[in-house]
Amino acid sequence: MQDKFINISYWSDVKITRHNIFKGLKSNAKYATGRLIDVGCGIKPYEALFTPFVDSYFGVDYPQTMETNYGDQTKADFFADCSETGLGECSFDTLLSTQVIEHIYDTRKFINECYRILAQGGVGIFTIPFVWQCHSEPYDFYRFTRHAIQRLFSEAGFEILKIENMEGAYATLIQARIVYLLGREHNNLLVKIICRMRNLLLVPYLNFKALHLDRVFYSDKLCLTYLLIVRRND
């Protein structure tokens, strides 16, 4: 399941974002040390990236959303509300949270909890959607700009080490087109068959273009996801 999550097909509607998240986390895994907590861990798809850098890898997930997304395939070690875990203060040296914050209604409470359970000098690594379709409904509440991310985490006491786009406008617009192509419903059987045949050829081509030409036509005005790295300094 973990390999399937990462090595996803070119026919998938999430190929672009998962590829870029994996690439971004891999290049920044060196920030992780000591005891790591994966908040909203699901199936722990990125565990193999971080285990060479940490002493332990501990996963937490919220029962309601976990059941919707992963069911009995979850690899959580502990089940709790991610904005009120009940875990000890300063318990972890590294906190990882990928594509989770948009699903938590009380954003500030969640960020404050992340700050609380990180040790002094501990590092938080987050991936945060900016342009993405509604998913895991009804537990999908927000999208965040770069400026909102910086302000929310700074106000919680974090030092911002890095905020970067994980792709540009070119890949983002292609992603929107793929969602449209794969999500559109047709009542006419013949039209449905024609569209499915078209998608079999077009979707992998679009995914390939997005992944290989995004930097050629790069613009930072849109992205699918931000990578955020912060530190608790107090």
Assign residue 148 the CATH number of its domain: 3.40.50.150
| Amino acid identity, position 34 | G
**Which pLDDT score is estimated for 148?**
97
Residue 101: helix, strand or coil by DSSP?
helix
**Are 74 and 42 in contact, with CB atoms under 8 Å apart?**
yes
The verdict on 183 and 151 lying in the same domain is no
The verdict on 180 and 227 lying in the same domain is no
Q: Which two tokens stand for residue 28?
A: 């920044």
The verdict on 29 and 61 lying in the same domain is yes
| Amino acid identity, position 42 | G
The verdict on 194 and 101 lying in the same domain is no
The verdict on 140 and 190 lying in the same domain is no
Residue 31: helix, strand or coil by DSSP?
helix
The verdict on 147 and 200 lying in the same domain is no
The verdict on 201 and 164 lying in the same domain is no
**Which pLDDT score is estimated for 187?**
85
**Which pLDDT score is estimated for 19?**
95
Mean pLDDT of 153-176: 97
The verdict on 118 and 201 lying in the same domain is no
Please, which pLDDT band fits residue 38 given cuts at 50, 70 and 90?
very high
How many independent structural domains does the chain possess?
A: 2
Domain span at residue 101? 2-169+219-232
Question: Rounded to whole angstroms, what are the CA distances from 177 to 1, 13, 21, 206?
Answer: 27, 10, 20, 9
> Can you give the pTM of this predicted structure?
0.93
Helix (H) or strand (E) holding 23: helix 15-28
- pLDDT tens digits along 198-209: 999 999 999 999
Residues 6+ apart with CB under 8 A from 216: 170
**Are 60 and 38 in contact, with CB atoms under 8 Å apart?**
yes
